Amino acid sequence: MTQSLWLVPLPVVVPLVAAGLALTFARRPRLQAVISVSALTIVLGVAIALLFQADGGPLVVNVGEWSAPVGIALVVDRLAALMLLVSSIVLLGVLAYSIAQGASDEANTDEKAPISVFHPTYLVLAAGVADAFISGDLFNIYVAFEIVLGASFVLITLGGTRERIRSGTIYVIVSLLSSVIFLVAIALIYGATGTLTLAQLAERLPAVDPTTQLVLQTMLLLGFGIKAAIFPLSAWLPDSYPTAPAPVTAVFAGLLTKVGIYAIIRTQMLLFPGGRLDDVLLVLAILTMLVGILGAVAQDDLKRLLSFTLVSHIGYMLFGIALASDVGLAATIFYVAHHITVQTALFLVAGLVEQRGGTTSLDRLGSLAKLSPALAIVFFVPALNLSGIPPLSGFLGKVGLLQAGIDRATPLAYAVVAAGLVTSLLTLYAIVKAWNKAFWQPAPEPLPEVRTPRSMFAAATSIVAVSVSITVFAGPLYAYAESAAADLTARSPYISSVLVNGDRGDGVSDGDSADASDSADASDSADGTADDAGTAGTGGEDS
């Protein structure tokens, strides 16, 4: 299949251009909505095309035609393509939900959503997420995280209530701490290797002192672990997410923690394949699963319950990363795709519950199954999926992870398998408790007579349908995840695609790039890690 490299930057460029247009039309919310929907629809189409094209090998674009490692490389391999596709679907679905909610708020409540700010900020968030997935450079990943952070703070504090400002402040402080750790790690890595290009780091890091490698690996894990909400770095999440508007909470819970998981997968597999911290990650996986789900069981608020289940299920993904096998990674990639859609769907449905019942407190809700049977169904399906009930995708992903753990056949791996089974059972218990209290038990007081807007319901149902479709198309999706996992463990497809000529990528920046390449070679020679003499760029052509 002919690779269309011009598609690679579009998931970042299109939302940014659209954000500028949306800002220009700040006084025309309907036109803003059209711009936002059009932009994310284009991104979804591009993501679908990239998914098929990346199946033939990674797509690499050197920004400004500067050859890697001098310039910034944008790389779409199977993992990045899959993440782009799932994130595009979720972002578009949540956007549709938020537009419907905005229209409903204007018509029925005195809480006016600042739509003029929402659209450009949401598009900037989409661009930042895409940039994190396709960046082939550590510093560019940092920039992407900062773009996401800036947009996130605006979105999480929409409405400007005291509670939202408080939760947004906690979110920003924790995220800034993560950013500082990440930035220091970047500086140390550059000092140790002379490069920040991921492909070249994969070649140079093995020559670095093992103790220094361990420090660098630990710092990256700390930075990404905060963003992914891994225990004990997860305390901020249940207090930050539930207070935000429902669509914001949904996209944060479904997607943003997975950006951290993606960064961990990419760096652990590509830069630190030795597995020196695998046992530590397995222990953290156990603690993340159990602490998270025990917190969920203790909650009497639906949004907080879902937030704690989000934390606990991050443990499953960490489990697969720690195993670092093809089977474990394939299950993790599949589970990430499943969890993004299911968790987003549940938070959107929680927003519908709040709209219909006036609250998300399980002690004050009740009788929703009688009042709104359709709402009961759209909650029930993703809830069972999250719990891992056969034959849904949550069950398939967990089976793959548990099988990978049994294959490892170590006491610690067996302990994580046991923790995974207990977590799955407690997830089912927590979900059934919420289902029973909100939908079947009589409400302690009559619920307000509020009609749920059909457009909001349709948007939430579409994400539920997407989560179910992962079960329907589990075979092809799991096969794609297995191929992505094989690429990750082999490492060579990614490295050789970026560094086409062995020590540098293609491009037309011959003079400057050659100088930089010579400098890099001189640095290697000084460290006793010299590679072959740098070769000149070839002015590669898009095929």
84 in any annotated domain: yes
489 in any annotated domain: yes
Mean pLDDT confidence for 287-300: 95
Angle at 501 between CA 497 and CA 504, to 5 degrees: 80
Site of tokens 């393509």 = 81
Mean pLDDT confidence for 204-221: 94
Q: How many domains in the chain?
A: 1
Contact assessment for residue 134 and residue 80, using Cβ atoms and an 8 Å cutoff: yes
181 in any annotated domain: yes
Question: Quick one: which of 267, 269, 321 has its CA closest to 489?
Answer: 269
372 in any annotated domain: yes
Mean pLDDT confidence for 382-397: 94
Count Cβ atoms within 10 A of the Cβ of residue 471 and give its class: 0-12 exposed, 13-18 middle, 19 or more buried: middle
Is a pLDDT exceeding 80 seen at residue 247? yes
% of residues, the chain, pLDDT over 90: 67
Question: Quick one: which of 186, 190, 166 has its CA closest to 178?
Answer: 186
Alpha-carbon distance of 6 to 8, in angstroms, equals: 6
| Local structure of 67: helix, strand or coil | coil
523 in any annotated domain: no
537 in any annotated domain: no
Is a pLDDT exceeding 50 seen at residue 280? yes
Predicted TM-score (pTM) of this structure: 0.90
Cβ-based neighbours of 28, under 8 Å, separated by 6 or more: none
Mean pLDDT confidence for 128-147: 95
Residue 350: domain span? 5-106+113-498
Cβ-based neighbours of 419, under 8 Å, separated by 6 or more: 285, 286, 289, 290, 315
Mean pLDDT confidence for 456-477: 94
Mean pLDDT confidence for 37-56: 96
The per-residue pLDDT for 104 is 60
170 vs 503 pLDDT, higher one: 170
- Per DSSP, helices labelled H in 115-228 are 115-134, 138-156, 162-193, 198-204, 210-228
Mean pLDDT confidence for 483-494: 94
Cβ-based neighbours of 334, under 8 Å, separated by 6 or more: 393, 396, 397, 400, 474, 477, 478, 481
Is a pLDDT exceeding 90 seen at residue 223? yes
Check residue 74 and report its DSSP letter.
Answer: E
pLDDT in tens, 168-212: 888 888 888 999 999 999 999 999 999 999 999 999 999 999 999
The per-residue pLDDT for 241 is 78
Is a pLDDT exceeding 50 seen at residue 537? no
259 in any annotated domain: yes
509 in any annotated domain: no
Site of tokens 């923690």 = 257
Contact assessment for residue 130 and residue 43, using Cβ atoms and an 8 Å cutoff: yes
